[in-house]
Amino acid sequence: MGQVRMSEAFQGYYKTIIPPEEWEAFEARSKERLPFTFNLNLPTPKLEAKFLEHLAAFLQVNALEADFAPLAWRGGREAWKYSGSFYKLSKGFPELNRFLVGATTSGTIYRQEEVSMVPVAFLGVLGSDRVLDMCAAPGSKTRQILRAFRDEQSVISSGFVIANDAVMKRCNLLSSIHHPCLLVTNYEAQYFPHSFPLKTDKKPNTENPEPKKEGKDILTVNYDKILCDVPCSADGTMRKLGTSFLSDWDGSLSVKCHHKQVKILEKGIELLKAEGRIVYSTCSLNPVENEAVIAEVLRKHPEAQLVDVSTQFPELKRAQGLSSWGVASEGKILTSFSQVGDQSTKENDEKITPTMFPPTKKEIQKMNLQRCIRLYPHHQNTGGFFLAVLTKLPKYKVKGIIPPPEQEPPPPTDPKI
């Protein structure tokens, strides 16, 4: 990995986001290689214990016991972290490296960034849950979700997981995950269907067709848990992508992502059961893709509410969500929509809109944006990440009228499953 080069625009903008006393630590850590982290992927605790015995033997031979440890905030032994980089591991400890590469190839473990593990941890999946992973590829979070479906007596659970992705080639990656409770689908996340037509072996009566009835030929599904890990500008992944990734950063990609992110989260709220849980996440640190998206969805959907998870995973270092920010545009930081210039020559997805700016003081009091979570590289030697945990209130608890869902294309007669 080459040296991370941050553009002047990136530094100028994020100095308004990162607390001043933390900037040097943030900048220094962002230029380092990521630690090597992985999850165990075995069906039973007995097999996990056997693998960990072999791992412990390799660590002892190489005097690395102090450098390899389970992630403390996870509270178990299923996720591990090596304080050095994978590059250092592969060059300095070839036998241990071969062991871990073999374990990865066999599916015994899978590599996953530490911050990427956080959204599923806060989702709190149970084996009986109906779970939707809206933007699932390449599948590390899906694998993490499926761990909750493991049972010591049986690998079969009463719940299920739908792993969806908009790109068919990426769905092929998801289909390599073999689990009886997993279904892979191929939809644009913002148009994911609420109902599915049921196939039947009965030949249709073409002369006197029966009208379709809800519950007979149509299956409507609401989900207990939804992961909404949306496409984003990925500017929090500087430690992984490195080199010149941020050298031409200007904030425009965050503007392009914003509206699609809002639509995907809105669809997730629609598909969620009352009192269910949805986690919205990005690997961006830009509030235009994060707090601004949450604020707009809360504004439009009074049935949605941010959950206070400040006492969950106390060993996970985090920063609160923001209630004030600017929008980066053409080398400037705009603090209100009134400062936006002529946009007549821009495409619709390139235009800055009022939804990208902070909510009003009155809205801030209601929204509780401080309940959002920001994970910075210097807090616990990770990449940058954002997440927010939301729930859906029952209708009788909602003040005002719940807006109807937006019109969407009808589901296909033969869903792409």
Catalytic residues: 283
Determine if residue 137 is labeled as part of a ligand binding site.
yes
Determine if residue 135 is labeled as part of a ligand binding site.
yes
Determine if residue 234 is labeled as part of a ligand binding site.
no
The residue among 321, 286, 297, 278 whose CA lies nearest residue 122 is 278
Determine if residue 136 is labeled as part of a ligand binding site.
yes
CB 376 within 8 A of CB 18: yes
Determine if residue 140 is labeled as part of a ligand binding site.
yes
Element (H, E) at 226: strand 223-229
Determine if residue 57 is labeled as part of a ligand binding site.
no
DSSP 410: P
The residue among 311, 330, 328 whose CA lies nearest residue 373 is 311
CB 67 within 8 A of CB 110: no
Residue 10, SS3 per DSSP: helix
How wide is the angle at C-alpha 294 spanned by C-alphas 293 and 298, nearest 5°? Answer: 120
Sequence-separated contacts (24+) of 395-404 with Cβ below 8 Å: 395/274, 395/303, 398/302, 398/303, 399/302, 400/302, 402/301, 402/302, 402/303, 403/300, 403/301
Determine if residue 229 is labeled as part of a ligand binding site.
yes
- At 72, the amino acid letter reads A
Determine if residue 410 is labeled as part of a ligand binding site.
no
Determine if residue 165 is labeled as part of a ligand binding site.
yes
Residues in binding site for S-adenosyl-L-methionine: 135-141, 165, 229
Residues in binding site: 135-141, 165, 229
